[in-house]
C-alpha cells in the first residue's frame, strides 16, 4: 500500500512538473502572438492619425494636438488634390526620370494639372475605420493615444511645427502578461528606444515616420 501511495504521488508530481515545463514554453509564445496582434492594430491606428495630421497641416499650415479638432476636420473638411490629366508618352520616360518626364509633358501641353476638392472623410476615413475610434488605442477598453505638438526653430531661424502620437507598451499591451511587458520595456529602454509605438517626433524636423519604420 505504501508503495502504491508513493507511486501515485510521484505520478502526480511528474504530471505537475510536465505542466510547469509546458507552460514555461507556451507562455512566451502566447504572449508574442497576442502582442503581435496588438502591435499591428496599434500601428495601423497611428498611421491613420499621421494621415489625418498631414492632411490637416496641408490645409491649416500646422498640426493639432486635439483629437476633437482632428476628427471635426476629417468629418467636415476638404482636401485639395492636384491631378494630372493626360498620359505621359513612353518616349518621355525613356529620356527622363519620372518627375522630369511629367514636367516635360506638362510643358509640351500633353499633360495638364487640375486641382480638385474632395471631402476629407471620403479620402481618409470612409471604409477604413470608424471616425470615433481615431483617438483610441485598439483593444484596450478606451485608452487614448498621447497626441502632442511642438515648434522647433531651425538653424536659419525658421519655426517648424511638428507632432507626435504614441502609446506606451503598458497601454497598447494592456491586459497581457505583466512580466513579459516589463521585460520588453526594459530591453527597449536599454537600447535607447521608445518603449511602445509612436509616429512623428517632437524633437526632430520633418520626421513623421513611425518607430517601426
Residue 148 lies in a domain: yes
**In terms of domains, do 102 and 184 share one?**
no
**188 and 207 share a domain?**
yes
Name the domain boundary from 92, 122, 152: 122
Q: What angle do CA 50, 33, 38 make, to 5 degrees?
A: 25
Query: Are 93 and 162 members of one domain?
Result: no
- The tens place of each residue's pLDDT in the chain, 213 residues long, gives 666 666 555 555 565 555 455 455 556 667 788 899 999 999 999 999 999 999 999 999 999 999 999 999 999 988 877 776 777 777 777 778 877 777 777 777 777 776 777 888 988 888 889 999 999 999 999 999 999 999 998 888 889 999 999 999 999 999 999 998 999 999 999 999 999 999 999 998 888 999 998
Is residue 209, in this structure, part of any structural domain at all?
yes
Give yes or no: residues 85 and 171 share one domain.
Answer: no
Query: Are 142 and 178 within one domain?
Result: yes
Dihedral pair phi/psi, residue 34, rounded to 5°: -70, -40
Radius of gyration of the chain (CA): 26
The verdict on residue 13 lying in a domain is no
The answer to whether residue 8 is domain-embedded is no
Phi, psi of 120 (to 5 degrees): -60, -40
17 within some domain? no
How far, CA to CA in Å, does 191 sit from each of 100, 138, 168, 212? 42, 26, 16, 14
Query: End-to-end distance of the chain based on CA atoms, in angstroms?
Result: 66
* pLDDT number for residue 113: 73
Say whether both 71 and 85 belong to one domain: no
Three-state secondary structure call for residue 20: helix
* Residue 182: per-residue pLDDT: 94
> 159 and 202 share a domain?
yes
- Three cell numbers, residue 82: 492636384
How far apart CA 85 and CA 93 sit, in angstroms, is 17
Beta strands in the chain (DSSP E): 78-85, 112-119, 146-153, 159-168, 196-200
Last residue of a domain, one of 122, 140, 157: 122
Residue 26 lies in a domain: no
82 and 134 in a single domain? The answer is no
- Can you give the pTM of this predicted structure? 0.78
Domain membership flag for residue 4: no
| Domain shared by 104 and 190, yes or no | no
Structural domain of residue 105, as residue ranges? 78-122
Q: How many residues does the chain have?
A: 213
- For the chain, the domain total comes to 2
C-alpha cell at 169: 507598451
Q: In terms of domains, do 114 and 210 share one?
A: no
Q: DSSP label at 63? A: -
Distances (CA, A) of 148 to 63, 66, 196, 202: 9, 8, 16, 8
Q: Indicate whether 168 and 180 sit together in one domain.
A: yes
Query: How buried is 83 (Cβ within 10 angstroms: 0-12 exposed, 13-18 middle, 19+ buried)?
Result: exposed
Is 5 within a domain? no
Amino acid at each position: 500500500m505504501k508503495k502504491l501511495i508513493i507511486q501515485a504521488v510521484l505520478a502526480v508530481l511528474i504530471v505537475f512538473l510536465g505542466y510547469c515545463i509546458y507552460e514555461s514554453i507556451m507562455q512566451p509564445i502566447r504572449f508574442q502572438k497576442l502582442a503581435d496582434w496588438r502591435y499591428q492594430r496599434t500601428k495601423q491606428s497611428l498611421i491613420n492619425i499621421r494621415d489625418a495630421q498631414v492632411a490637416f497641416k496641408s490645409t491649416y499650415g500646422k498640426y493639432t494636438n486635439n483629437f476633437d479638432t482632428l476628427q471635426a476636420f476629417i468629418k467636415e473638411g476638404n482636401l485639395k488634390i492636384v491631378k494630372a490629366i493626360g498620359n505621359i508618352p513612353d518616349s518621355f520616360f525613356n529620356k527622363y526620370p519620372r518627375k522630369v518626364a511629367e514636367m516635360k509633358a506638362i510643358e509640351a501641353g500633353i499633360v495638364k494639372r487640375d486641382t480638385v476638392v474632395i471631402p476629407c472623410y471620403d479620402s481618409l476615413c470612409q471604409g477604413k475605420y470608424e471616425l470615433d475610434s481615431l483617438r483610441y488605442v485598439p483593444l484596450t477598453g478606451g485608452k487614448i493615444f498621447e497626441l502632442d505638438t511642438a515648434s522647433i526653430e531651425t538653424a536659419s531661424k525658421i519655426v517648424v511645427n511638428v507632432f507626435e502620437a504614441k502609446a506606451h507598451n503598458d497601454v497598447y499591451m494592456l491586459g497581457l502578461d505583466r512580466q513579459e511587458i516589463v521585460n520588453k520595456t526594459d530591453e527597449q529602454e536599454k537600447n535607447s528606444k521608445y518603449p511602445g509605438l509612436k509616429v512623428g517626433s517632437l524633437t526632430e524636423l520633418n520626421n513623421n515616420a513611425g518607430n517601426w519604420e
